[in-house]
Each structure stands twice: as C-alpha cells, then as structure tokens.
Amino acid sequence: MQASRPSQPRPIRRLIIAGGGTAGWMSAAMLSKSLGRLMEIILVESDEIGTVGVGEATIPTMINFHKLLELDEAQFMAATNATFKLGISFENWRAIGEHYIHSFGETGIDHWTAGFQHFWHKGRERGLAGGYGDYCLELRAAQKERFAHLPDDGLNYAYHLDAGAYARFLRRFSEGFGVRRVEGKIGSVNTDPESGHIASLTLADGSVLEGDFFIDCTGFRSLLLGGALGVPYEDWSELLLCDSALAVQTESTERMVPYTRSIAHGGGWQWQIPLQTRVGNGLVYSSRYLDDDSARETLLGNLDSKPLFEPRLIRFKPGQRAQTWKANCVAFGLSSGFLEPIESTSIHLISRNLIRLMQLFPTDGISAADIEEYNRQVSEEMVHIRDFIILHYHLNERQEPLWRACREMEVPATLRHRLELFGDTGRVFREQKELFAENSWIQVMLGQGLIPASHHRSADLMPDHELKGFLDSIRTRVDQLVAQLPPHKDYVRRYCGS
C-alpha cells in the first residue's frame, strides 16, 4: 500500500517501534531513556503474536547496557528469575566424553611480548603446567559452582534470565519514560512513493500510525525492512548447518550452576539454562541430519527434570539482512538476522546495535553517510560472531554425518587465517571493537583440540624454577579466591531471590 507523503528530510518527532518482545522493549527502554524528551515514542504489538524467546542466556555486555539505563541489578534479577553466568560448558563437542568451559574471564597474566598461552604452552612442554583453565578465576569458580560480587569488578559475569519477564520488566521501565504501547496487529506497511521511506502502519482494525522513523522488531517476518523495503536476506546456511530448534521449560533442579550447559548430540546440541525456579532447555539441530521426531525424542530423553509443557518447534535461517538500516527504518533482533544461541549473542547484538544507533541517531534528518557507517559496523560484527560460531563446529573429532560435514567444510578465509595462525605459532589477535577477546578464541580452540605447534621464544628465557613459580603463583591465587566465594545458589537467594 502506498501513502502520499513529503519526501524531503525532516526532523524525527515521532518514532514507532513495530513489535515487542525482547528486541522491541529493549529498543523502547534505550530510546525513551535517552531521547524520550525529544520525541514521541510508540510501540505497537499484539498479545496474539508470540515471541521466539529461544535464548535466556546473556554475555557480560548486558551489564553495560543496564548501567546506561541505570537499572538496579538485584531488582532486575528478582523480576526476571535470573541467575549468574560465568561462561558456557561445552560437553562432547570435540569428542564424546571431552568437556571444556569457555569462561568470561582472563586467563593468567600476559607479558608485553606474548600472551599467557605461550608461557602455559612452554610449561606444558616441560611438565610444569596444569590445564589452561586452572589459571582463570571465572572458569574455576564455574567448576566449583561458586559466585559473589568482588571489588573492582573482579569477577566477569553475565546472566541467565526469563526473556518474557525481561520484556515485561522493560515495558514498565519504558512506560515510565513516556513510551505509549498500542495493542494491535500490523495489517500493512505504507511507504511514500517519492522517497521510498515508510510513512505509516495500518493496523488490523483500520487505525493508522504515522511516524518519522521506524524500528522493525517483527521477528523473522521482518515486515518493515524485509517486507516493505525489500532488503534481501544473506543466507549462511552452507556455513552454519543447524536450522531448527526445540525449546521447553522444565522444573527446577537441586543444582543451580553458574554457567550454561551446551551438550553436543549426534545431530545438534542441547542447552540447559538454570533460572531460580525453573530450567530452560532446548535442542538446536540440522533438519538435514535429524528429523523433528528424532530431535524431540533426543531432547526429552536428556532432560534432568519434568517438562512444564510440550517442546515448541522453531525454524530459522542463519544469516543477516544485506542492510539493517535502510531509509527511515532500522531492524533489531530477528528482523535483522539470526545466529544460533551457542554463544548467547542475540541479546548482545540488540543492545550493541541500539548503542550504535544512538551514536548515529538522525534527530535532525537522515544522513546517507550515517546509514552506510551503521550498516558497515553491524555487518562486520555479525561476520566476526559467525566465524567464532563456525569454529566450535569445524574443530571436532566426532564421526556422525553432521559433525563430519562441519569438519570437512571450507570455512571462510577470515576464520582459516585465525586457525592457521594459532595452530602454527600460538598467536591470536582481536580486530578493533570485535566482541570476542583473545582469551575466548584461545579457550575454544584449545577446548576443541587445536594445540599450537610452537610458542613465543620469550617463554624459553625463563628457567624451570622461575616458570614453575610464575604458573603456580597464578593458580594458587585463583584457588584461594574461589575458596572464599559462597555457593552460587546461596548467593542468588540472598541477593535477588524472586
């Protein structure tokens, strides 16, 4: 449907968010807190349309997002049934029976010439070093199921949370800053014939919402960016083979571990996310290698407690929109693209892209240069995360068809370079503003079985007693700190029991 409207640049006075859920209400919260006094903000959603809500695990960048919103952490956690998260336990990924943790912390102490992994590698060569994870506070705390806030942000952490409750929490927050919620389904998206910009939304009841700027949070349907503006989708299915998920909640268990469990199976992988009063579960799988009935049987056969409802099937296509900002519309969440929740990046991408939009916000009119810069940054980050996810699948020793296909596939040149660099020399690097730090790459590459063939020669300059003393002092300090931490479950109940 076309609607006549002036095409000249104009200030943003009314902003409309299409869709609720996590993406919609995170957008409403950030925009209303920052710009609510400058413009009217309306969010339109329908109670009849459910949200995907696959991921309930986050990464530490969420803490920064909440600091910008000035949220009270204990209040937020109590409202969202949240627990703390120190990392992800990858079980059976490299091979059946092999486990490792990708933690949020730093490992060891770097030297100006080389990272800690080089000194660890030399210590391992001489029989002086323990496992790489022995030198990481967050990893050892996760293994011991302990947690507490430490002075000076001494423990890096994130959250497990109820995504539906989080959206409701942010709705109350946003409405406090003037966001107006409109109930209704979107019937059509109306564009200006001259500019091609979105002019208004017509709801199913015939009412029309006009706006100057639009946020697309309509999920996989991408009604605005993909539908009305015709932005194509870049399909990464040949690099990321999983395209389906089953999700189910189960009753709470006695344990409340401070990490997400990611358990590899023959046709995919299973997640377990402990909340205060229940557990989030699911199975991500490839429909090319596992049918839905078998996937359901695998999931239900590997639960630790009673399901609260029937598993819900979700289909997805990994990839991204060719542009996530076009004309006067920006897409967040599933509307902009999707990468499976293996590293809990979905909520991060929403918050990071919201901050990007705030930094480039077209308050006085839309700039083509701003759009180009925004799209460049978003696309680069998606590619970095995509490569990190492929890494988990590509380095494996399993023999099932899915895992053989992942091992034998041709990976992107950007990832191939990282693997060769680390495999040959033990070196890693981080692109500017790239999400995953060097230690994340090291933990996963080592965990998946890639051991460097050599190390930096500065490590050879330390005699055995000096190298042993260096390594032992780090491990002893880590063990002493972990021993002082209370059990995670006890700390959560005292701090933010819901």
DSSP character string of 45-71: E-TTS-------B--THHHHHHHHHT-
Q: Please report which confidence band the pLDDT of residue 9 belongs to, taking 50, 70 and 90 as the band edges.
A: low
Rounded CA separation 75/97 (Å)? 39
Rounded CA separation 358/496 (Å)? 31
The verdict on residue 313 lying in a domain is no
Q: Give residue 112's pLDDT.
A: 86
Strand order in the sheet with 198-203: 186-191, 198-203, 208-210
Q: Give residue 363's pLDDT.
A: 81
Q: Give residue 232's pLDDT.
A: 98
Q: How many domains does the chain have?
A: 1
The verdict on residue 96 lying in a domain is no
SS3 content of the chain, % helix, strand, coil (to 5): 40, 20, 40
Q: Give residue 5's pLDDT.
A: 44
The verdict on residue 462 lying in a domain is no
The verdict on residue 214 lying in a domain is yes
Q: Please report which confidence band the pLDDT of residue 4 belongs to, taking 50, 70 and 90 as the band edges.
A: very low
- The b-or-e profile of 158-171 (16+ CB within 10 A means b, else e) is bbbbbbbbbbebbb
Q: What is the CATH number of the domain that holds 200?
A: 3.50.50.60
Q: Please report which confidence band the pLDDT of residue 51 belongs to, taking 50, 70 and 90 as the band edges.
A: low
Tell whether the model's pLDDT for residue 315 goes beyond 70.
yes
For helices 21-35 and 346-359, the axis angle rounded to 10 degrees is: 30
The mean pLDDT value of the chain amounts to 94
At 306 the three-state DSSP class reads coil
Cβ contact 144:103 at 8 Å: no
Residue 17 to residues 6, 27, 336, Cα–Cα distance (Å): 21, 8, 14
Condensed to tens digits (0 to 9), the pLDDT of residues 155-204 reads: 999 999 999 999 999 999 999 999 999 999 999 999 999 999 999 999 99
Sign of the Cα torsion 82, 83, 87, 91 reads negative
The verdict on residue 176 lying in a domain is yes
Condensed to tens digits (0 to 9), the pLDDT of residues 217-270 reads: 999 999 999 999 999 999 999 999 999 999 999 999 889 999 999 999 999 999
Condensed to tens digits (0 to 9), the pLDDT of residues 427-443 reads: 999 887 899 999 999 99
β-pair partners for 326: 329
What's the rounded mean pLDDT across residues 28-56?
A: 84
Q: Give residue 7's pLDDT.
A: 44
Fill in the DSSP letter of residue 223: I
- Enumerate helices (H) and strands (E) in the chain, giving the number of each: 14, 21
Residue numbers of the domain that contains 358: 14-56+162-236+318-366
Rounded CA separation 377/386 (Å)? 14
Cβ contact 329:240 at 8 Å: no
The verdict on residue 187 lying in a domain is yes
What's the rounded mean pLDDT across residues 371-378?
A: 97
Q: Give residue 432's pLDDT.
A: 78
Condensed to tens digits (0 to 9), the pLDDT of residues 126-144 reads: 999 999 999 999 999 999 9
Condensed to tens digits (0 to 9), the pLDDT of residues 381-418 reads: 999 999 999 999 999 999 999 999 999 999 999 999 99
Tell whether the model's pLDDT for residue 53 goes beyond 60.
no
What's the rounded mean pLDDT across residues 7-35?
A: 90
Considering only CA atoms, which of 312, 309, 301 is closest in space to residue 278? 309
Task: Give every CB contact of residue 344 below 8 A, 6+ residues apart in sequence.
Answer: 55, 57, 58, 59, 85, 88, 158, 260
- Whole-prediction pTM value? 0.94
Task: Give every CB contact of residue 257 below 8 A, 6+ residues apart in sequence.
Answer: 89, 142, 145, 274, 488
Rounded CA separation 233/116 (Å)? 41
The verdict on residue 262 lying in a domain is no
Q: Give residue 49's pLDDT.
A: 65
Classify residue 449 as exposed, middle or buried by CB count within 10 Å of its CB (0-12, 13-18, 19+): middle
The verdict on residue 28 lying in a domain is yes
Tell whether the model's pLDDT for residue 362 goes beyond 50.
yes
Count of residues in the chain: 498
What's the rounded mean pLDDT across residues 339-349?
A: 94
Rounded CA separation 297/377 (Å)? 41
